[in-house]
């Protein structure tokens, strides 16, 4: 059971911060080369942190390539989804769960001296981001940050209709 929860934490620690910072759907992390590279770097850090914290458990999470394959698979399965952290980061009055997702990993990294510049930078950026402001000229139905809106931009909606 511990490994299942740790896998979920590791996957969420990659997908959620990246989608929140870059304001993209989950699938963009694998479809955009620069984001895929960031995803790979973050996955390497998280695998090293898990390896240091749990040296004899959850061995499948120690291998950065195997963890990246898992994260990539989840991104493909949920390609059209907005992550919960993206929704929180772009919705007025919401706070993100970055402290709950990255917090344990950051603490373990510090405890074991594991370098974690990507994870730390993403967490800091999300924690220190200005909250979204209400747009007085838009209704909630047309607000791109609205979690109930299916297509955040007209161009994306047109692309989705073509598929």
Section 115-122 average pLDDT = 97
CA nearest neighbour of 118 among 65, 61, 33, 39: 39
Give the single-character DSSP code of 97: S
Residue 134 has pLDDT above 90, yes or no: no
Q: What are the structural domains of the chain?
A: 2-132 (1.10.1040.10)
Q: What confidence category does residue 92 fall into, taking pLDDT thresholds of 50, 70 and 90?
A: confident
Section 115-134 average pLDDT = 87
Q: Looking at per-residue confidence, does 80 or 160 come out higher?
A: 80
Q: What confidence category does residue 150 fall into, taking pLDDT thresholds of 50, 70 and 90?
A: very low
Q: Where are the alpha helices (DSSP H) in the chain?
A: 2-22, 28-31, 33-53, 64-77, 84-89, 98-112, 117-127, 154-162
Section 107-113 average pLDDT = 98
Residue 83 has pLDDT above 60, yes or no: yes
- Integer Cα distance of 67 and 161 in angstroms: 33
- What is the separation of C-alpha 116 from the centre of its chain, rounded to a whole number of angstroms? 15
pLDDT value, residue 160? 38
Catalytic residue among 4, 5, 6, 8: 8
- Integer Cα distance of 147 and 110 in angstroms: 35
Residue 143 has pLDDT above 50, yes or no: no
Q: Looking at per-residue confidence, does 148 or 103 come out higher?
A: 103
Section 41-47 average pLDDT = 98
pTM above 0.75, yes or no: yes
Section 58-62 average pLDDT = 92
Three-state secondary structure call for residue 76: helix
Query: 96 with 89: CB under 8 angstroms?
Result: yes
Q: What confidence category does residue 121 fall into, taking pLDDT thresholds of 50, 70 and 90?
A: very high
- Integer Cα distance of 138 and 163 in angstroms: 28
Give percent above pLDDT 70 in the chain.
Answer: 79
- Integer Cα distance of 22 and 17 in angstroms: 8
8 flagged as catalytic:
yes
Query: 9 with 104: CB under 8 angstroms?
Result: yes
């Amino acid at each position: 059971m511990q490994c299942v929860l740790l896998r979920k934490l590791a996957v969420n620690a990659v997908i959620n911060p990246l989608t929140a910072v870059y304001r993209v759907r989950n699938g963009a992390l694998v479809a955009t080369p620069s984001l895929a590279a960031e995803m790979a770097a973050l996955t390497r850090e998280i695998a090293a942190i898990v390896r240091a914290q749990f040296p004899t458990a959850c061995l499948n999470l120690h291998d950065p390539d195997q963890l990246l394959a898992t994260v990539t698979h989840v991104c493909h399965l949920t390609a059209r989804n907005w992550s919960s952290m993206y929704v929180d980061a772009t919705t007025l009055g919401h706070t993100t769960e970055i402290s709950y997702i990255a917090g344990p990993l950051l603490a373990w990294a510090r405890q074991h001296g594991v370098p974690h510049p990507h994870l730390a930078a993403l967490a800091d950026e999300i924690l220190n981001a200005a909250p979204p402001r209400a747009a007085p000229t838009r209704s909630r139905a047309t607000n791109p940050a609205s979690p109930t809106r299916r297509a955040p931009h007209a161009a994306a909606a047109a692309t989705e209709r073509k598929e």
